Amino acid sequence: MFHTSLVDAILKGDKITGIRVLRREGLASIGAKVVIDATGDGDVAARAGVPCTFGNPELGTVQPATLFFHINNVDSQRLTADVQAHLHEFRKVNGVSYRALHWRVEEAEAAGEWDINRKSVNIYRGVHEDEWAVNCTRIAKVDATSTESLSAAEKEGRRQVQELMNFFHKYVPGCEKATIKSSASTLGIRESRHVMGEYLLTADDLLQGVVPDDSILCASNSVDVHGRNGANTTEYKTIQNGRWYGLPLRSLMPQHIDGLIVAGRAISASSDAAGAVRVMPPCMAMGHAAGIAAALAVSGGTVPRKVDAGDVRRILLEQKAFLG
């Protein structure tokens, strides 16, 4: 159901039996034998009383958010030529990436026309010749569980989009007549709650290429942490052993509450490990596995944490999932 917002979890002892929601008609309850929390922020789990952490508890930080947008009416040949002419200048210094258009950012900074916590601009080719996607806005200290924080962050994100458009028009060859084709309808949140589950995935698990017996996906995305060592920094750590790592089904099973599965960036993972598996391919694979586990729990008359991981893996393989 679209146009429906979560209000609360319905519990019977330590088992979730449904959720309360706000629909266009008003408040309502939806009963369920299994609930899958794919909110990204662990909203169902938190309301059900599952223990959670927020961001990186040791550092007291959370990864910054981003508002993605697309531009068009770009002379892509001139833009590409400018980037290619400076490829030899690409570098990373003290965790700060100097990549595409960093030489133009330096010009804008010198003129007092750049205050975004980036030293370069991440841009990607679109479907049409004149289209580009821009991943550059950076909004710090966003609490994705707070309406006020999200509202303020969205305003700041849209301000940064306009600053970037001014930058493109004035400093970037080929972008003098660029226009905003679209901007994201909501912020891209990298981090908020981390649910405490039956297994806590760690960065060392990923870097060492550990593939547990109950893995429900294999992935190779690097540990990707924005803002760790300063506002402009991005930390990347790639796998040290092997070609991929596994994510165990246990990390989708929250502590204390039965009948609940968590999928997406709120799974049971350390802040650093979540920096790797929060991206789209792993999240889609988690959803696939969560759906299978839920169906098996219902058909077997049991709770998700008691579902045989081997059965989940068997069905995943039958449905062409990659498990190593």
Number of other residues whose CB lies within 10 A of the CB of residue 28:
13
CA–CA gap between residue 228 and residue 234 (Å, rounded): 7
Q: Do 215 and 308 fall within a single domain? A: yes
End residue of a domain, out of 157, 183, 209 = 183
Q: Do 154 and 220 fall within a single domain? A: no
Q: Do 172 and 249 fall within a single domain? A: no
Where in the sequence is the domain holding 102, given as residue range(s)? 69-183
Beta 15-23 vs 245-248: how paired, if at all?
Answer: unpaired
End residue of a domain, out of 160, 183, 206 = 183
Give the model's pLDDT for residue 95.
87
Residue 9 in any domain: the answer is no
The dihedral formed by the CA atoms of 281, 283, 288 and 291, expressed in degrees to the nearest 10: -170
Q: Do 75 and 176 fall within a single domain? A: yes
Q: Do 113 and 132 fall within a single domain? A: yes
Residue 308 in any domain: the answer is yes
Residue 304 in any domain: the answer is yes
Residue 214 in any domain: the answer is yes
Residue 7 in any domain: the answer is no
Q: Do 40 and 108 fall within a single domain? A: no
Give the model's pLDDT for residue 307.
98
Residue 303 in any domain: the answer is yes
Listed in sequence order, the residues at least 6 apart from 127 whose beta carbon sits closer than 8 Å to its beta carbon are: none
Q: Do 250 and 274 fall within a single domain? A: yes
Q: Do 195 and 290 fall within a single domain? A: yes
Q: Do 239 and 148 fall within a single domain? A: no
Residue 118 in any domain: the answer is yes
Give the model's pLDDT for residue 234.
81
Q: Do 142 and 212 fall within a single domain? A: no
What is the separation, in whole angstroms, between the first and last Cα of the chain?
35
DSSP letter string over 55-102?
SBTTTTB-PPBB--EEEES--HHHHHHHHHTTGGG-EEETTEEE-TTH
Residue 251 per-residue DSSP state = G
Mean pLDDT per 10-residue run, the chain (324 residues)? 96 98 98 97 98 94 96 98 97 92 97 96 96 96 97 97 98 98 96 98 96 97 83 84 97 97 98 95 98 98 97 98 96
Of the candidates 142, 157, 222, the residue with the CA atom closest to the CA atom of residue 190:
142
- How many domains are there within the chain? 2
Residue 261 in any domain: the answer is yes
| Maximum separation of any 2 CA atoms in the chain, in Å | 66
Q: Is the pTM of the predicted complex or chain greater than 0.85?
A: yes
Give the model's pLDDT for residue 235.
82
Q: Do 195 and 311 fall within a single domain? A: yes
End residue of a domain, out of 164, 183, 202 = 183
Q: Do 179 and 196 fall within a single domain? A: no
